[in-house]
Amino acid sequence: MKRLFQKLTAILCTGMICLSCNAIPAHAEEDDSTAEIVLPSGKPVKWFQHEMEETAKLNTEDERFFASAVVGLFQGDDVIYTGYFGETDIENHIPADENSVYEWGSISKTFVWVSAMQLWEQGKLDLEKDVREYLPDGFFQHLSYDEPITMMNLMNHNAGWQETIRPIMEADENKILPLGEMLQAIEPAQIHRPNEVTAYSNYGAAVAGYVIECVSGMDYCEYVHKNILEPLGMEHTAINPTHSDNEWVCEQRKKMKSYEISHLTDSAISRDTCLLYVSPYPAGAVTGTLSDLMTYAQAFVNDDAPLFQHKETQELLFSGTYFYGDSDIPECCHGFWCEEYAVRVYGHNGATYFGEANMIFDPISKIGLVVLINEPNSNWYMEYTPFLAFGNLDPNQYAVSGEPQKATFKDYYLISRSTYRGMLKFVPYLSGITLNGLGEIEDIGNHLYQIRSEESSMILGEKANSNLEISSMELIPDKFYLVKLCLFTVYVLLAVISAYLIRIRHKLIKANR
């Protein structure tokens, strides 16, 4: 849900930035070969560079605007811009540079999906076959439905699992279990039938990584090195949760620090190295440099499809597998997310306790953007650079002809990506939302709606069960949300009062009163 609000805020603010910066001349020196390249946003690369560097000037020792950010733009095989801003160790004044390694978070999942498509291409993996046929017998212990769980379900995040209530981050590397054992140890409840509800799932992606192991007969980490990293020459990327598969990355990561920016004091609060290990590691452990992430992203806009035997496989990878409403607007493409800016882009973002990452690209113009930061709560570079590079979705792009029909959604909604069974089933009720106040909502047909702002819009899809589709999850209506929230509040108050009364009773007994 955080991502939804960030995107709405960014849409509004970026429109103002673009308008206010039209008259600002770009003065930074640039290679002549890239100076005239126009980005999908309609802005030249030199303007983009100017915005990056002007924002960096806001960062001073007295007023911290951000910790660090590294930004890369490419067009096809050509890197057209790189920027390194801020410091990866503020206390020791170590600046971000080409040797800085950042955690890529959920971008790691795309390595699983690429691996799956490679094995599909070789005829070793059926995307529509129940993955239990590839896994050891009796692998899952908490399934509620008999329907098959396919690789396509795992790619679309609709296998039905809720969030796991068991921790997936480890501070002690010696506690990291082998992938199969770990997945059985943290298996969450299956609360929806497969294909029924989209709910982003780290567990599901990690299961897909284990399927890669079982089908290929290779350790997942070894498979990715041999079939993705080595063919692309990505020498500064680690796959293993402890980064032990790349000694250089392992040492560089220990030098990196994570920060939270306090906007009350304009200071950076150090979180030290924040070195935690992702136990379901195919879902989020990849760590590496900006250059390697750009190399990886560039492969997806390369017509030669270097990661596949046939370019048709890459084309299939970016074909829609899940759509908004009844439209042909893709939400997911074999595990890669699709987003609507001035152009349609594909990619994935990621977040860990250490920081955030983003990788998006436009296969038509072959322009892509990569951003890495060492702050877990985002910063300017993470939120706004996608809009500066790819522009805003035109509010009229999907508008219906004639007078648009206004739509209202009065219900409160719960987020599908949460826990609905077990001791933490109260959690969804702590984050219920309403769409009122987010903007003007229009019905544009095919069970599609758009939240309009002055400069842009955002697409929502409505399913037959009245759930609303947003990127990577659904909003589930709950007509009795406020009643349930009030009952829960009363329950908590009574629990606190009861605990207090029990304490008083204990003291009275001790005093023989």
Instruction: Quote the percentage of the chain above a pLDDT of 90.
Output: 75
- Could you give phi then psi for residue 420, rounded to 5 degrees? -115, 5
Three-state DSSP class for residue 52: helix
Tell me, what's the pLDDT at 157? Answer: 98
Tell me, what's the pLDDT at 34? Answer: 67
pLDDT in tens, 337-382: 999 999 999 999 999 999 999 999 999 999 999 999 999 999 999 9
Q: Is 307:314 a contact under the CB 8 Å cutoff?
A: yes
For 334-483, where are the E strands, in sequence order? 336-340, 344-351, 356-362, 367-373, 405-406, 412-415, 440-445, 448-452, 457-462, 468-470, 473-478
pLDDT in tens, 273-314: 999 999 999 999 999 999 999 999 999 999 999 999 999 999
Rounded distance, CA 395 to CA 454, Å?
A: 8
Tell me, what's the pLDDT at 454? Answer: 65
* Closest by Cα among 126, 122, 119 to 153: 126
Tell me, what's the pLDDT at 423? Answer: 87
Query: Is residue 16 pLDDT above 60, yes or no?
Result: no
Rounded distance, CA 275 to CA 353, Å?
A: 9
Please enumerate, as own/partner, the contacts of 95-99 that have beta carbons within 8 Å and a separation of 24 or more.
95/68, 96/68, 96/69, 96/70, 98/289, 98/290, 98/291, 99/252, 99/289
Tell me, what's the pLDDT at 440? Answer: 83
pLDDT in tens, 233-281: 999 999 999 999 999 999 999 999 999 999 888 899 999 999 999 999 9
Rounded distance, CA 303 to CA 297, Å?
A: 13
Tell me, what's the pLDDT at 33? Answer: 62
Tell me, what's the pLDDT at 405? Answer: 82
* Closest by Cα among 238, 161, 173, 245 to 206: 161
Tell me, what's the pLDDT at 397? Answer: 85
* Closest by Cα among 30, 158, 49, 101 to 357: 101
In the structure, what pLDDT confidence band is assigned to residue 438 with cuts at 50, 70 and 90? confident
* Closest by Cα among 372, 449, 446, 366 to 407: 449
Query: Is residue 3 pLDDT above 70, yes or no?
Result: no
Residues 6+ apart with CB under 8 A from 381: 52, 55, 66, 69, 71, 85, 371, 373
Query: Is residue 19 pLDDT above 90, yes or no?
Result: no
* Closest by Cα among 153, 154, 83 to 373: 83
Tell me, what's the pLDDT at 1? Answer: 45
Alpha-carbon distances of 370 from 356, 463, 513, rounded to whole Å:
11, 33, 69
Rounded distance, CA 204 to CA 186, Å?
A: 11
Rounded distance, CA 243 to CA 347, Å?
A: 24
Buried residues in 28-64 as b, exposed as e (16+ CB within 10 A): eebeeebeebebbbebbbbbbbbbbeebbeebeeeeb
Report residue 445 as tokens.
């047909």
Query: Is residue 25 pLDDT above 50, yes or no?
Result: no
DSSP 229: I
The arithmetic mean of pLDDT across residues 446-466, rounded, is 84
Ramachandran class of 498: left when φ > 0, alpha when ψ lies in -120 to 50, beta otherwise: alpha
Summary mean pLDDT of the chain: 91
* Closest by Cα among 294, 282, 352 to 105: 352
